[in-house]
Amino acid sequence: MQKNPILWVFGKECDTLKMMVYRLYLLAVSANTSANKGGFDVKDTYRTKPAGIIASIVFKQNFTEGRFHIMKKSIQIFTLCLSLLSGVTLSAQAYYSSYLPDYYQIEKGSQLSIESNMPISVARVSQIDTVDKKQNTGSSTSVMQLKMLGFIPIKAVAVDEIDELSVALGGDNFGIKIFTSGVMVVGMTQVDSEQGAINPAKNAGIQTGDIILTINGQSVSSNEEVAKIIEESNGEEMTFYMQREEKNFTVKFRALRSLTDQKYKAGLWVRDSSAGIGTMTFYNPITGIYAGLGHAICDVDTGLVLPLSSGEIVGAQINSINKSFDGTTGELCGSFTSETLGDLQMNCELGVYGALLHPETSQNIVKIALKQEVHTGSAQIYTTVDNEAPRYYDCEIQKIVYHNTKTQNMVVKITDTELLEKTGGIVQGMSGSPIVQDGKLVAALTHVFVNDPQCGYAVFAENMYNQSLAVETKKAS
């Protein structure tokens, strides 16, 4: 039986090339009909006749080109995949390098472990020893290399070994009374003088937010003192010793007589004190050092941190609650009691700190979670929104931020239906409320999102604890 010429020439190869060779085959049959009157043999035609030879050459050339084309495409795909993999790797490397902190603390005898979506390993690189000659003590800091997938370097971080951190859990409301160091300029106004509406203080270079430390060499700490000195100046030149962003400077100017009340004025509004209600985060039952609020007490007009001269914390009683809703922040409405709880020694971006007069030693003692132990997911806020004892309410840690901020370390959402019914979410006065996760104190509530009052920021408890050590050091000295 005569063989099918297409299958004989190409077998099961590419159909497109088959058709090309088949057309050459038909030409060969047509051109050699007279030479094959006794019958046509495909093998003879393919091997010996000119058209058959041409078909063989064309087939081999196209087959080779096809194989080369496939190989070229494979290399291109492989190169593209390799480029994409390199891009993803470099992006992940850059992300974790900026996302993860440069400094960690770990408990003595433990290993640094970092939870993330990508496996991150830790390897010790070196150790830096330091000696405090005054205290005759020494310490060491390890330098460790973080690696992604066990071999891709991320960055080197400093790691200190510390003792276990344990504190008494707060959650109680307290009143805060703060008196500033000097007086803060919170507003400027024109003086209606004989020369016209003029602001002599502004013309001399004084700005809102500046701190007045002395006038004519006399220290000032109250609004009344500032007003008296200016009124008694009788238009003589005065020397103001000022502070702006921790830099001191001097200005000189003359007050102007107001046509309204015939008193000399400088055109300044100043503030010498502030008061409010917050929540205690924790305290040390041994030393009595406490931490609360989680953020600084700032001037309501300028938004600047009030410089602390002295202050105290007192008992507070909650009378009512103004609930939060979208666009409006609620508050705990209360009053101060006559009971003094302790002094106020520090007002900074991480909260208020001082010493309790009578710290309780039988309170709820909890461990402080180090920042690498905190994770997204369910947690509880321990707070007081009435005149009863603090209670646990459910919340969720939605996001954790390590870098570029000391205070806004995580986003927290209130999920407890009872608390939402009482407050509508986070309200003023809840700042400092401790957040507990896995049985450890992880953070303190600090701010509310005005347009979404169920959510707000929180600060790592570890950061607040480290700040409290400065007060302990000051107390010891």
Q: Distances from the Cα of 222 to the Cαs of 176, 206, 231, 415, in angstroms?
A: 18, 18, 15, 44
Q: Looking at 192, 301, 394, 416, which residue is catalytic? A: 416
Q: Give the Cα separation of 128 and 140 in Å (integer).
A: 5
Which tokens is 77 given? 């795909």
Cβ-contact 325, 454 below 8 angstroms? no
Q: Which of the following is catalytic: 172, 193, 274, 295? A: 295
Q: Comparing C-alpha atoms, which of 194, 207, 190, 169 is closest to residue 381?
A: 169
Backbone angles phi, psi at 31, to 5 degrees: -75, -20
- Could you give phi then psi for residue 322, rounded to 5 degrees? -90, 115
Exactly one of 193, 431, 433, 468 is catalytic; which is it? 431
Q: Which amino acid makes up residue 456?
A: G
SS3 annotation, the chain: CCCCHHHHHHCCCCHHHHHHHHHHHHHHHHHCCHHHCCCCCHHHHHHHCHHHHHHHHHHHHHHHHHHHHHHHHHHHHHHHHHHHHHHHHHHHHHHHHHHCCCEEEEECCCCCCCCCCCCEEEEEEEEEEEEECCCCEEEEEEEEEEEECCCEEEEEEEEEEECCCEEEECCCEEEEEEEEEEEEEEEECCEEECCEEECHHHHHCCCCCCEEEEECCEECCCHHHHHHHHHCCCCCEEEEEEEECCEEEEEEEECEECCCCCCEECCEEEEEEEEEEEEEEEECCCCCEEEECCCCCECCCCCCECCEEEEEEEEEEEEEEECCECCECCEEEEEEEEEEEEECCEEECCEEEEEECCCCCCCCEEEECCHHHCCCEEEEEEECCCCCCCEEEEEEEEEECCCCCCCCCEEEEECCHHHHHHHCCCCECCCCCEEEECCEEEEEEEEEECCEEEEEEEEEHHHHHHHHHHHHHHHHC
Is residue 295 flagged as an active site residue? yes
Query: Which residues, in sequence order, are bridge partners of residue 289?
Result: 355
Nearest of 468, 460, 381 to residue 425 by alpha carbon: 381
Q: Catalytic residue at 403?
A: no
H-helix segments, 100-249: 200-204, 223-231
List, by residue number, the catalytic residues: 295, 416, 431
